[in-house]
Amino acid sequence: MICCRKLLVLISCCLLVLETWAVDSLKVYPTHWWTGMKNTKLQLLVHATNIKSAGRVALKPYAGVKMTSVSTYANPNYLTIYLDIGKTTAPGLLTFTFHNTTAVVAQLTYSLQPRNTQNGKTRIKGINSSDLIYLIMPDRFSNGDTSNDRIAGLKDQSLDRSNYFKRHGGDLKGIQNYLGYLQQLGVTALWLNPVLLNDMPDRTEHGYAFTDHYTIDPRLGGASAYRELIDSLHKRGMKIIQDAVYNHVGIEHFLYRDLPDSSWFHWWPVYTNTTYKDQVLMDPYAAQIDKKRMSNGWFSPVMPDLNQNNPQAASFLIQHAIWCTEEFGLDGWRIDTYAYNDLDFMNRCNKALLDEYPQLHLFGETWVHGIPNQSFFARNKYDIPYKSNLPGVTDFQLNLYGIVPALTQAVGWTEGVNRLYLTTTNDFVYADPGKNVIFLDNHDISRFFSVVGEDIAKQKMGIAWLLTFRGIPQLYYGTEILMKNFADPDGLVRLDFPGGWSGDAANKFEPGGRTPAENDVYNYVRTLANYRKTSPALTTGKLMQYVPEDGVYVYFRYTAVQTVMCVMNPADQVKEIDMHRFGERTKPFTKARNIIDGVTADINNKLKVPAKTLWVGELLP
């Protein structure tokens, strides 16, 4: 009888432990995986209360899968299982059992799925110079599902559209509702600011402080809404770009609040911020402490800096990127704060993604100053110790030292259009400058319409440049309807798209809700962007530029079958240019059709270009 009681006690204890590790509390990352991956190694991070006490982990025999090792951490709530999954392994379910000294205390069933047969066909097609990217901050575009405006249990319960610093309720369904609008505009790809869970107590509308890598923020609609949006995009022949953040997480991330061990993050004796000085990474005279502060300092006090030299942390990040790509069918990645990452880690991460998905496009945020600085972080032609394998970057140089001075400065030896010309001449440093993403503005910098003094003619010139120059063009939401404001001092560059919320005073998604000026610019974008879709010269053609003369900058985009001439005249008066100078590109053409109004001009001798115009013409025999 005593023995029976002891047995009952033992069984009860085991049941209690098993209950502690119920399916909803035992977490594993990645949540599932796929067969047929080029890299056969897989790291499973298991998270459950006191999981370390299990002592022993066993894998039920499964053809083609080997459990190579198990490691534990200082924190008993974690352990890592390492697997080798053969390239011919069949999809199915893996069964892991967790044992203590006397009994099985938990069981984990893990799914190995087949890879999607549409990869490279209708999904994961990559982003290239034939695309027009439209950047959206999901919280500020459109509220398509009011039921997810507030989610019980999340720390931020704000919802106040009158307060710029609070959440406004935009979501993925709202974006899906306006895919027709975007496609008519000429957009082919969407880049969304981060969609992963940001369960932070304050200011979470931007999305750059992850708290759970494997949860799509439910306030945006969750994973189901994300899949539905992406499926809708792919059915339309459009593409999706996800925003990656490898450098840091939000301070409420479970990996920080419940550390596996201290080596997952960078620590300092006292709080140490990054210097934001990318120059030290390439400076031959830099002090080591400055390099360390740049890369290992925290981006902000609420964004802990991940230690990417920790193999487990590095694998966690890389596997998550692969997981998202396969799970959702991503066509590209924009990588936030690229310069602040460990650059050797970034090369490993980029390679891992491109090994599995060669067609995928990756481009990094390089908000730096100077072409050598920017090109240092991309594939380049330098013979230097560090060689980046990043295909492309966000081309801040063609923004800060290109189109902005071209349209805001008086012409000088190195000012005005000459600055745009000079910046472009340095493209020789890139392995492929056509993979860089060019832009007029984004969620961090002043709206272009405000930068050019709310001058509609110059806004059109900027748009024409964006849609005719080399690289991959990116349009920030609302640029087509003259949304404005400066990044400083108030930062009102992330206002709601008018009409995205029920009851808005005006609906800018519809022609009737736009002013004549807004309709004029919208139609300008639509005409040029849709022409660009079928123009081999503008999507894949070469670039030839001419030294600016008399304040006029001329460049051509051309292939064997099409030539487009672009003439930028930012002056307040009409300029007449001698066409004989451009014979290298204009022979044997005699006419040019204006892309915007369809008017054909004779180009044998002189061409008159109106004031404050970027004239775009397709050359004809």
Catalytic annotation, residues: 336, 365
Q: Are strands 606-609 and 575-578 parallel, antiparallel or unpaired?
A: antiparallel
d(CA 298, CA 159): 29
DSSP H or E stretch at residue 153: none
Q: What would the two tokens of residue 210 be?
A: 């992850």
23 contacts: CB under 8 Å, gap ≥ 6: none
Helix axes 222-235, 311-328, angle to 10 degrees: 50
Amino acid at site 107: Q
d(CA 372, CA 375): 5
Beta bridge partners of 100: none
Residue with tokens 């990996």, as numbered in its chain: 255
- Comparing CA positions, the residue from 121, 385, 361, 115 lying closest to residue 241 is 361
- Comparing CA positions, the residue from 484, 483, 480 lying closest to residue 520 is 480
Reported for 126-129, long-range contacts at CB under 8 A and 24+ positions apart, including other chains, are 126/331, 126/332, 126/359, 126/360, 126/361, 127/189, 127/239, 127/241, 127/331, 127/332, 127/361, 127/363, 127/472, 128/361, 128/435, 128/472, 129/434, 129/435, 129/470, 129/471, 129/472, 129/539, 129/540
Q: Residue 239, SS3?
A: strand
